[in-house]
Amino acid sequence: MPDRRRFLSSLGSTIGGTVLGSTLGLAPSASARPRDPSARPNVLFLSVDDINDWIGVYGGHPDTRTPHMDALAGRSTMFTRAYCSVPLCHPSRIATMTGRRPHNTAVYSAQVGWRDVIPDALHLAAHFRSNGYETLSAGKVYHWTDKFGEPGEPWLWDHQIAPPPPPHRWQNGPLNGIPDTGNFDWGAPPGVAEQDFPDHKVVDWCLDKLLAPRPRPFFLAAGLYKPHLAWYAPQRFFDAFPPASVTLPEIIENDLDDVPQLGIDMTERFSRIDHIRENGIWDDAVAAYLACIAFADHQVGRLLDGLAASPHADNTIVVLWSDHGYHLGEKLHWEKNALWEEATRIPLMIHVPEALGGPGSEPGGQVSERTVELVDLFPTLTDLCGLPTPPDLDGQSLAPLLADPHAAWDRPALSTWLYKNHSLRTERYRLIRYRDDTEELYDHETDPLEWTNLALDPAYDALRAHLGAQLPTFDRYVPLDTSLDPETGEAMELSSYPNPSAGPVTVEFILPEPSPVTITVLTVTGRRVRALTEAESFGRGRGQVEWDGRDDNGGRLPGGLYLCVVRTATTSETRRIILLP
């Protein structure tokens, strides 16, 4: 691998007629830019949807199989503390592609179209196009709800393919056999050949473009749909992860006892934990996520192998990123939509070929533990490609860290979820402040799973004040309908009790007709602790049963999150109860 000092000296200088931008994070001056735009590097901007740190080199899960992403990391700068701007697809991608944080734009969820709030925003691809680049797009680059970049929009893409995204619900019913869970489904779709999966088609199209001569430097944005739900992949990837043998994330049942109510509300509103526990399928779901990661990694390998065989290999910068992380039970939460580590941390790798002064293709790569953000990618790429950097970006060029991954970097990462809820991540601490000023504080040196909230400990008051002073002082307001799913904009019901409670808790239900009712209380690991009713007959109308917080043997249960399953002759509903100690 080239000496890092050589890498440092080469950034910001002319190499083979190409300028890689200033290592100081400043836009190159007009005189520093290459006179011949055709000499500028190409960019392959590769996103993998909804993937967390379950990648081999990141060490997030012992069972994962990602040889191709691991190999890319070995010839890249791998950022181990990279974070999204928003833990949700649409607003995260808008922040990434505009270089602007949501508290400045108000793009907090899929309900907010960027055209409505920042119609004049400069987008990354448009900036490259206006500076002489050919722009190409395949797959999920922007979130589908944004209706963005459709074929025929010449101001952004010169060429584009957007194969229909994978179905969110299988046409003949859920493949995993769990009814009424929307896109929370997984399996190998029957009769679908591997080459017919949308991600395979995305890579096929990109390979056609890479292997053909290009008229000028290109910016190619390729977006893989997996491992986003629904978790559909060819059967061979599921075969590699038998559910009975997968490793499950480590949790504690009282994890939410010290979390403020707004943090609890986020887990209740957007989590899948009720379906998981009620059906006893935690291992199946983890295996399905791993299978889709392996499928996505296979597509990454196909694309990178094609780039290596193309005439563009030595002059193409590769950026691999995800729009946000993902919970699979950690902190008693599933999916994203939270400000904790698993939802906000992302994989990020930047490969600069050896001919451009980077680590090249020799094994080893380099690792940076500095805290960086997705909004940093816009100024990084303009810097590396010798383009002017727009003045109103919220990010900062990562070129100094590509030159020296251990360079001084006093810049925490900021993540925002909905209006006025922020997380600030330093290399050691995470501070979360909700819109009601309640807080969480975690020390990742001693508590990497964020189990102990230090915010109420007076010993940390000075640290909280120091970190809190770095949070935004301005949050652009936009009205949001909280009854709608922030990702899809669809109506969503919240079927949880106003909590927490020390008991008794009144479990209510409404029957359109007389019916037997069975009410069972479970732990979050699916163990039954109390049967409140067993097929007890109730008349038409409103009914209720009280739970005193005790198990079937009369013992007082410890505080924490419990699931309450209410079954009638025709329905089954799971609610969540936070029991105080």
List active site positions: 89, 143
Element (H, E) at 44: strand 42-48
Distance (Å, whole) CA 441 – CA 179 = 38
How do strand 505-511 and strand 541-547 relate by DSSP bridges? antiparallel
Q: Which residues are paired to 442 by β-bridges?
A: 430
Helix crossing, 89-98 with 377-385: angle to 10°?
30
Q: Which residues, 6+ apart, have CB-to-CB distance to 102 below 8 Å?
A: 85, 86, 91, 94, 95, 108, 416
User: How is 172-222 classified by DSSP, letter by letter?
Assistant: TS-TTS--S-TT--EE--TT--GGGSHHHHHHHHHHHHHHS--SS-EEEEE
Residue 462: which H helix or E strand, with range? helix 461-468
Cα–Cα distances in angstroms (integers) from residue 283 to residues 189, 241, 304, in the given order: 20, 10, 31
DSSP-assigned letter for residue 163: P
Q: At what angle do helices 282-308 and 198-211 cross, to 10 degrees?
A: 10
Measured in whole angstroms, how far is the alpha carbon of residue 124 from the centre of its chain?
A: 20
Which has the closest alpha carbon to 231: 322, 166, 145? Answer: 166
Q: 547 to each of 72, 332, 495, 505, how far by Cα in Å?
A: 54, 22, 17, 5
Question: Alpha-carbon distance 213 to 310, whole Å?
Answer: 9
